[in-house]
A and B are shown apart, each in its own frame.
Chain A
Amino acid sequence: MSRTSFHILRVGLAITFLWIGVLIFKEPEAWGGFIQPWVADLVPISIKQAMIGTAFLDIVIGILLLIDSLVWLAALVAAGHLFVVLTVSGINEVTVRDIGILAAALTLMVDSLPKNFIDKINSTGLTSRD
């Protein structure tokens, strides 16, 4: 991926996560409505608390992506978070877009992995060297 494309994707994803975080802070109970009943029974805290925690996580991910720091880690957490969202909410007319955001987060993570980590993978012979 070119650096320009990378930065456009990074900033776009950052704004998405920041804005979602703000919107969850506004109405945590309403956002909690997306959680499936079987998941709500498993969570040891109230849905409101869980959603406020999610909002914090979204904002931290957004800030890291926005300031171009620890992008690989932020994108990894974002991808994991979206995977959990798709699992606990199910795929519906709203969350179907999360598949695209998940793909974008995975793309950013793969493209920003630390060099020593890539070298380690290459040394194990798991990837092509050409």
Chain B
Amino acid sequence: MTSFALLFTLASIGISETVYLIRTRINSEKPVCLIGDDCMTVLSSRYSKFFFIHNDVLGLLVYIIISLIAALLVIGVSPIPLWSLFIKILVSIASIASFVFTYLQWRVIRVWCFWCLMSAFTIWLMGLIVLISSLI
């Protein structure tokens, strides 16, 4: 259960992050950028959308689904093997997407965005938890 608790906690942190980013975007506000040069350069770049959907919205959906699946797994709602497989696939896809977005910041846009990096590290940490719990 510890791995699900950690996944749930990380997904909740991700939800609060993405909700903040969505809110600042809707209100046309500049997000607080604690580390890095200018988050707005990244958040308003042509890579901030995927098939016309903002990355923050996609991130929010992913985090909500992960937290829901983690909760279902803890409660013991059937079919548990399917939920378990689904969460592994979702975290794997999200980890790969985070690598792509981090590469874009590093090599293409050449500006670091604090919130994007925080989201990437959150996802990678989830990936690490899924990997370790599968091995144990």
Contact = CB atoms under 8 A, between A and B. Distances in A.
* Most chain B CB atoms below 10 A, which of A10, A19, A62: A19
Q: Which of A7, A10, A11, A15 has the most CB of B within 10 A?
A: A15
B30 interface: no
Nearest to B17: A11
Nearest to A7: B16
Contact of A11 (B16, B74, B75, B76): B16
Interface stretch (B4-12, B85-93, B124-132): B4-12
A66 B16 contact: yes
Interface residues of A, number: 15
Given A18-B8, A26-B76, A66 B15 contact: yes
A67 B12 contact: no
B74 A14 contact: no
Given A68-B20, A68-B23, A22 B74 contact: yes
A14 B16 contact: yes
A18 B20 contact: no
Contacts, number: 39
B12 A66 contact: yes
Most buried by A among B5, B15, B67: B15
B19 A22 contact: no
Contacts of B20: 68
Given A18-B8, A19-B8, A22-B8, A68 B16 contact: yes
Interface in A53-94: 62, 66-68
Contacts of B19: 66-68
Contacts of B16: 7, 10-11, 14, 66-68
10 contacts: A11-B12, A11-B16, A18-B67, A19-B5, A22-B74, A22-B75, A25-B71, A66-B15, A67-B15, A67-B16
